[in-house]
Amino acid sequence: MDNRAIGVFDSGLGGLTAVRQLHRVMPGEDIIYFGDTGRVPYGSRSRRTILEYTRQDVAFLNSHDIKAIVVACGTVSSVALGVVSTENSIPMVGVVKPSCYAAMRATKNGRIGIIGTKSTIRSGSYEAMLHTLDPSIHTIARPCPLFVSLVENGRFSADDRVVQLMVEEYLAEIRDYGVDTLIMGCTHFPLLRDAIADFLGGGVTLIDVGAEAADYVRTFLDPAERQQGTTEYYVSDDIESFDEHAEMFLGEPAGVHAQMVDIVSYGKERG
């Protein structure tokens, strides 16, 4: 029996949406989760800084007995994964490829919207993958820089007027473009699903990138034989906030507690 764990990391709490899906589809797996809550968000950082942070995050996970890593961060998946995956021998799964495959399966009219952090949208990673799969696909991508901060602060209710205003501001052009599928290219964004769905209308399929990445893990890892695995949670700052908000990301009963990590002590930037 393989008792090694699956590592998952994100810049904050959004990656817990991937953990939530792993709990559903691979309940026997042990999971090590790291949320870099002290440096969230990554999406406004330079490529050099994102690479440095990613190497530290991966080094921390590798300090445990890890058999695969889920990069539950759209920014890292878009900007740093291609580099960091070549520096590590264990499988690393990002959110871009699995969610693009899901979007291609979902779309009927060939019009796909993409939302994410500034760095994710600037990278063009989702558009490049979609056009590799089908050059005739039509895409529209827009950054939503304030969505992460809203979610990290517990502001995601569809009835919240501030959330409604932000959704309208960021998604008006996407709605007018006539998309029938929207890739929520950040693992924080599924918490805003109801508000986004209300604005776009019921005919638009919303792709949860964290859930798609978690599902993809099943394609190359044999499931653990035990019935129930364990999950350990680590953060780089503000344990109290994690304990308070984790339940809303995980959709599981309260009682989740995190441990503190001095993340800058892990890994070194390679330039």
Query: Which is catalytic among the residues 73, 84, 92, 115?
Result: 73
Q: What is the mean pLDDT of residues 131-157?
A: 93
Count of H-run helices and E-run strands, the chain: 12, 10
Average pLDDT over the chain, rounded to whole?
92
Element housing 181 (H / E): strand 181-184
Taking the CB of residue 228, how many other CB atoms lie within 10 A of it?
A: 10
Query: Is the model's pLDDT at 271 over the cut of 60?
Result: no
Q: What is the mean pLDDT of residues 206-212?
A: 96
Query: Is the model's pLDDT at 175 over the cut of 60?
Result: yes
d(CA 121, CA 78): 9
Model pLDDT, residue 177: 98
Per residue in 82-103, pLDDT (tens digit) is 999 999 999 999 999 999 999 9
Model pLDDT, residue 70: 97
Query: Residue 217: which pLDDT band, with cuts at 50, 70 and 90?
Result: very high
Range in 181-190, 197-206, 260-269 the model is least confident about: 260-269
Query: Which is catalytic among the residues 13, 71, 137, 186?
Result: 186
Residue length of the chain: 271
Per residue in 48-78, pLDDT (tens digit) is 999 999 999 999 999 999 999 999 999 999 9
Instruction: For residue 89, give the amino acid letter.
Output: S
Domains recognised in the chain with CATH numbers: 5-94+212-265 (3.40.50.1860), 96-209 (3.40.50.1860)
Query: Residue 259: which pLDDT band, with cuts at 50, 70 and 90?
Result: very high
Nearest CA-CA partner of 37 in 246, 212, 253: 246
Strand partners, 184: 115, 208
Taking CA atoms, 71 is separated from 31, 192, 227, in Å, by 13, 20, 25
Name the percent of the chain lying above pLDDT 90: 79
Taking the CB of residue 188, how many other CB atoms lie within 10 A of it?
A: 32
Q: What is the mean pLDDT of residues 151-155?
A: 86
Query: Residue 2: which pLDDT band, with cuts at 50, 70 and 90?
Result: low
Q: Which of 14-23, 175-184, 224-233 has the highest mean pLDDT?
A: 175-184
In terms of DSSP bridges, do strands 258-260 and 31-35 run parallel, antiparallel, or are they unpaired? unpaired
Q: Is 186 a catalytic residue?
A: yes
Per residue in 14-43, pLDDT (tens digit) is 899 999 999 999 999 999 999 999 998 898
**Residue 136 in tokens:** 């005739």
Query: Is the model's pLDDT at 1 over the cut of 60?
Result: no
Q: pTM for this one?
A: 0.90
Model pLDDT, residue 270: 45
Q: Is 73 a catalytic residue?
A: yes
